[in-house]
Amino acid sequence: QVQLQESGPGLVKPSQTLSLTCTVSGGSITTNYYYWNWIRQPPGKGLEWMGAIPYSGNTYYSPSLKSRTSISRDTSKNQFTLQLSSVTPEDTAVYYCAADLGGSSRRCLPYGMDYWGKGTLVTVSS
């Protein structure tokens, strides 16, 4: 059973870069044909798909966040990371890492994932 766990700071100051890591166990992030996603949910709002890095190592981003988002991976640690630059209080959200076989990821949808982390709350505040 694949398990995902998010980690990173719970508080980030405005204009700084938010960095989160997702550690995967029970499976490899290079396994065909999984996509490894970042999804967030602001307080009182719905889920938002942010981007993904599939087994191939390519990256895909939400058009609305592309200019501020970077997703990378460390295959030796079986981890993938999210960096979101120039954050504002509107970036306050629960951030999730999740995995699917591409059916949702390729359509930039936050639903229908096969595996989810528990999520981590990141607050943007001075």
**Percent of the chain clearing pLDDT 70 (strictly above):** 100
Torsion of CA 38, 66, 87, 5, to 10 degrees: 10
Measured over all CA atoms, what is the biggest interatomic distance in the chain, rounded to whole angstroms? 42
Cis status, amide bond into 33, omega within 30 of 0: yes
| Cα-based distances in Å from 35 to 10, 30, 90, 124 | 25, 9, 26, 28
**Do the beta carbons of residue 13 and residue 19 sit within 8 Å?**
no
Write the pLDDT tens digit of every residue in 42-81: 999 999 999 999 999 999 999 999 999 999 999 999 999 9
The number of angstroms, rounded, from the C-alpha of 100 to the middle of its chain's C-alpha atoms is 12
Write the pLDDT tens digit of every residue in 14-24: 999 999 999 99
